[in-house]
Structure 1
Amino acid sequence: MASFFLSFLYVLSFFFPLITSSPTTTITLPLSFFNTNPNQDPTQKFTHFVFQSLARAKHIKNSQKSSASSTTPLYPKSYGGYSISLSFGTPPQTLPFIMDTGSSFVWFPCTKRYQCRECSFKGTAAITPFMPKSSSSAKLLGCANPKCGWIHGGGVENRCQDCRPPFAGKTCNQICPPYLILYGSGSTGGLALVDTLDFPQKKIPGFLVGCSVFSAQQPAGIAGFGRGRASLPAQLGLNKFSYCLVSHRFDDSGKSSPLVMETGEDSGDKIGNLSRTPLLKNPQVAGRDALSVYYYVSLRKITVGAQKLKIPYKYLSPDSQGNGGAIVDSGTTFTFLTHDVFQLVQNAFLTQVKTYPRAGKLESITGLRPCFNISGHRTIDMPDMKFHFKGGAEMALPLANYFTIVGTDSVCLTLVTDSFGPELPAGPAIILGNFQMQNFYVEYDLKNEKLGFRRQLCK
């Protein structure tokens, strides 16, 4: 590993000035489903979505600083997320990124020496890394630069010996220490750069971005849209961003919908007919900095049909240790519910669904439950499902967002829990995933601390 970083440092040994441009107020990018294997068997795909969602939940619920060690499971083939294209450098180099509201760092595969384990999937285009030598505006991030602390936290100065008195100031040439970031479905590591982020009508010089030289299970970079200082919304100074997620049934079609990012003066509530709920103040827990990057919302109750589920309050609101509460995470595919909450939801469906026999064998294969055999039925009738939030906001899910056809004659509930081991003790109890957000317009009003949403055909 040491020799790998030495060769990497040799490739990136340059320092050049940055460019500037004029500001604008709105940036719109196409947002498309990111699928690494369009030819994958549907049952295998949903099975992977289950394990990917559970791995993501385990990571979120046990979040530590990025330098912490953990065992990260590696899963093949698909992320089940959504991607955007961003351009960095001078001249610009365009690369795909997973759009992730559950993390706060932007990084791309970097240099010809980039290595990725478990990233060669059937149906996946070859990874094209960013080439720092080809960008006249790219610089290695210095250890004395405050942005280094965005990655490593307030204690980074203890790792920057060459920047401490009497060597501090212009004489300090020490670079920011390498980063290692752990995700539920993989990891990545490298060195931090500052470079120009190039939008069609706007250039942002000095943007902090990670130059990853090795990864596991990460066939594209990640654009963190969370609440941390290194996130894309924070670095752009966004007041709002919004998106509308096209259905997963288009995951191999190239169909896309816009991601809109707004800067400048507060434009008010331009989008009407939105249900809005406050974004909560995030828990500040020592040793668990990642909790501060999540979008917590106040989920009040869940209803299945006419049944109001009696969810204990400890699961609906985060405590002083950061346990409990609900977050919105575009990087999670299937919504995660802590075991006790999931049991309430599952039992509500089992009590009310009498028309279709249970498909137990399929449940054991996919990890989804409950599943029902619908052979012989031309239509499917299931109880309604709603999430109710503080402020009266209600998210009434269309049937396709919480039940999906698996195989030719069965449907399964697309919510998951950690049923393959002990209960996950820490972190959010409920993680609202992107599968449940299909064909919803979702708006993150960062200035007014509100989440807005409405059902809408995304196109």
Structure 2
Amino acid sequence: MFYDCRLTHVDDGSPFNFTELIRRAALRSQHRRQLLKARITNTSPANLNIPVTPVKFEYKIDFSIGTPRLPISAVLDTGSELVWTQCRPCEQCVEQVTPIYDPSKSSSFSKIPCTSPMYAYELFKQFNPPKCQYACAYGSASTRGVLATETFSFGGKHSAKLTFGCSRESRGDFAGTAGIVGLGQGKLSLISQLKFNKFSYCFTPFNSSRSSHLLLGSRANLERSASGEAPQSTPFLNDTNFYYVALRRISLGKTFLPIPSSIFQYKASEGRGTVVDSGNGQSQLPQPAYDVIKKKITSFIRLPVRNMSSTVGLDHCFAVSSWPPHPAPPRPAC
């Protein structure tokens, strides 16, 4: 039997010039070398591509924990450090879609001794937890439990032993997931423990059918688009657990708003600045900047304004008479 197999180069038909084609070929070779080296030495992979799914106003990743593997999901959070999941026995657990992880049924679970200096880690000390427990807070949500190590599996391919929080007491709304995966810069975050020096993510809109992706390692590179357009980037301002960026100005349409840049100025000693936080479903601004934007938007949208703070938590909504359709009375829409 004879097969006629035709091969097409990966950059065939692309708009890249000769220099860019050479650069892309060199990068592919370097990525390939890293991947082969990781397989030979049985270390962390050169890269990981983990699907990300929208849930409510957060984004979650799916993975497995324990031996045998238990599939669970957790909120992806660049604004925190700890990786944790709810565990049995639960003194107080919030509702989650997947079964709650039971460490007694996993052969790879290992509780960290109470004498470990990990319990004195600065992240936990600020919440003053009881002896031999960790505690973390996320605004109106929180978690408390014991520290342990366990096998985590991502994408069905890569497994790693991670230190994590085995939560026995959880409060708040975690969008039906089992916990949180922290991507901060601290030593307990997923990035630090997997020893990846870079990551990137692309979040598609909540109503989109396209998948979002979390890229870890060598795949998290700034690449030109198919049209040859160079990517835009901005540096982080510090190396603490939070990712601060320099916000200078805000425009509405093509007009820059009269907001002093000093309002957004980064000051580490005061905890001031603009933080990139994937665990927050809304962009939040200092009151002076918010007031300017609110006033400008109101001048464009000539509809009755409604304060919906007590119902949906938003103070500046507009009453749209066409929703829902008549003959129902008008309802406020944010």
Task: State the TM-score, normalizing by the size of structure 2.
Answer: 0.72
Deviation by residue 1:79-138 (Cα, 9 ceiling, x = unmatched):
x2111112222222221101011100000111243522xx34xxx63x522121222222
Indicate the residue corresponding to 1:261 in structure 2.
216
Indicate the residue corresponding to 1:247 in structure 2.
205
Provide closer, same or farther for how the CA distance between residues 315 and 262 of structure 1 changes in structure 2, counting only shifts above 3 A: same
Q: Please say if residues 350 and 370 of structure 1, whose CA atoms lie closer than 8 Å, have aligned partners that are also in contact.
A: no
**1: CA distance between counterparts of 2:168 and 2:124?**
22
Structure 1 residues 348-363: aligned runs within 5 Å: 348-351=296-299, 353=300, 356-360=302-306
Q: Choose the corresponding residue for 1:90, options 59, 67, 71.
A: 67
1:195 aligns with 2:150: yes
**1: CA distance between counterparts of 2:217 and 2:330?**
43
Provide closer, same or farther for how the CA distance between residues 408 and 128 of structure 1 changes in structure 2, counting only shifts above 3 A: farther
Structure 1 residues 11-410: aligned runs within 5 Å: 21-35=42-56, 80-116=57-93, 119-120=94-95, 125=97, 128-143=99-114, 145=116, 147-150=118-121, 152=123, 177-199=132-154, 200-205=156-161, 207-217=162-172, 218=174, 219=176, 220-249=178-207, 256-262=211-217, 268-270=221-223, 272=225, 273-281=230-238, 292-351=240-299, 353=300, 356-360=302-306, 365-375=311-321
1:128 maps to a residue whose letter is P
Deviation at residue 409 of structure 1 after TM alignment: 6.9
Provide closer, same or farther for how the CA distance between residues 301 and 130 of structure 1 changes in structure 2, counting only shifts above 3 A: same
**2: CA distance between counterparts of 1:129 and 1:324?**
38
Provide closer, same or farther for how the CA distance between residues 370 and 111 of structure 1 changes in structure 2, counting only shifts above 3 A: closer
1:269 maps to a residue whose letter is L
**1: CA distance between counterparts of 2:123 and 2:205?**
37
2:236 maps to a residue whose letter is L
- Structure 2: runs of 5+ lacking an equivalent: 1-40, 324-328
Secondary structure class of the residue paired with 1:113:
coil
**1: CA distance between counterparts of 2:220 and 2:183?**
20
Deviation at residue 317 of structure 1 after TM alignment: 1.9
Secondary structure class of the residue paired with 1:324:
coil
**2: CA distance between counterparts of 1:315 and 1:324?**
9
Deviation at residue 182 of structure 1 after TM alignment: 1.1
1:23 maps to a residue whose letter is S
**1: CA distance between counterparts of 2:318 and 2:167?**
44
Provide closer, same or farther for how the CA distance between residues 360 and 191 of structure 1 changes in structure 2, counting only shifts above 3 A: same
Q: Please say if residues 26 and 260 of structure 1, whose CA atoms lie closer than 8 Å, have aligned partners that are also in contact.
A: yes
Q: Please say if residues 89 and 196 of structure 1, whose CA atoms lie closer than 8 Å, have aligned partners that are also in contact.
A: yes
**2: CA distance between counterparts of 1:23 and 1:152?**
26
Deviation by residue 1:370-410 (Cα, 9 ceiling, x = unmatched):
43345469xxxxxxxxxxxxxxxxxxxxxxxxxxxxx9876
**2: CA distance between counterparts of 1:179 and 1:329?**
22
Provide closer, same or farther for how the CA distance between residues 204 and 337 of structure 1 changes in structure 2, counting only shifts above 3 A: same
For these two proteins, the number of residue pairs brought into alignment is 279
1:358 maps to a residue whose letter is P
**1: CA distance between counterparts of 2:307 and 2:125?**
51
Indicate the residue corresponding to 2:326 in structure 1.
none
**2: CA distance between counterparts of 1:349 and 1:197?**
46
Deviation by residue 1:209-237 (Cα, 9 ceiling, x = unmatched):
01011111245210011111111111111
**2: CA distance between counterparts of 1:267 and 1:115?**
38
1:270 maps to a residue whose letter is E
Measured on the aligned residues, the alpha-carbon RMSD in Å equals 3.3
Q: Please say if residues 190 and 213 of structure 1, whose CA atoms lie closer than 8 Å, have aligned partners that are also in contact.
A: yes
Structure 1 residues 447-458: aligned runs within 5 Å: none
Q: Please say if residues 358 and 370 of structure 1, whose CA atoms lie closer than 8 Å, have aligned partners that are also in contact.
A: no
After TM superposition, the structure 1 stretch with the greater mean CA deviation from structure 2, 89-98 or 226-235, is: 89-98
Provide closer, same or farther for how the CA distance between residues 25 and 147 of structure 1 changes in structure 2, counting only shifts above 3 A: farther
2:191 maps to a residue whose letter is P
Q: Please say if residues 372 and 410 of structure 1, whose CA atoms lie closer than 8 Å, have aligned partners that are also in contact.
A: yes
**1: CA distance between counterparts of 2:309 and 2:103?**
47
Q: Please say if residues 305 and 318 of structure 2, whose CA atoms lie closer than 8 Å, have aligned partners that are also in contact.
A: yes
- Structure 1: runs of 5+ lacking an equivalent: 1-19, 36-79, 160-175, 283-291, 378-406, 413-459
Secondary structure class of the residue paired with 1:332:
coil
**2: CA distance between counterparts of 1:239 and 1:313?**
31
Secondary structure class of the residue paired with 1:97:
strand
2:86 maps to a residue whose letter is P
**1: CA distance between counterparts of 2:151 and 2:160?**
5
- Which structure has the higher relative contact order (CA within 8 Å, separation 6+)? 1
Q: Please say if residues 21 and 204 of structure 1, whose CA atoms lie closer than 8 Å, have aligned partners that are also in contact.
A: no
**2: CA distance between counterparts of 1:408 and 1:241?**
46
Deviation at residue 244 of structure 1 after TM alignment: 2.2
Provide closer, same or farther for how the CA distance between residues 280 and 329 of structure 1 changes in structure 2, counting only shifts above 3 A: same
**2: CA distance between counterparts of 1:362 and 1:371?**
7
Stretches of 4+ aligned residues off by more than 6 angstroms: none
After TM superposition, the structure 1 stretch with the greater mean CA deviation from structure 2, 25-34 or 87-96, is: 87-96
**2: CA distance between counterparts of 1:129 and 1:232?**
20
Deviation at residue 152 of structure 1 after TM alignment: 5.0
Task: State the TM-score, normalizing by the size of structure 1.
Answer: 0.54
Provide closer, same or farther for how the CA distance between residues 91 and 408 of structure 1 changes in structure 2, counting only shifts above 3 A: farther
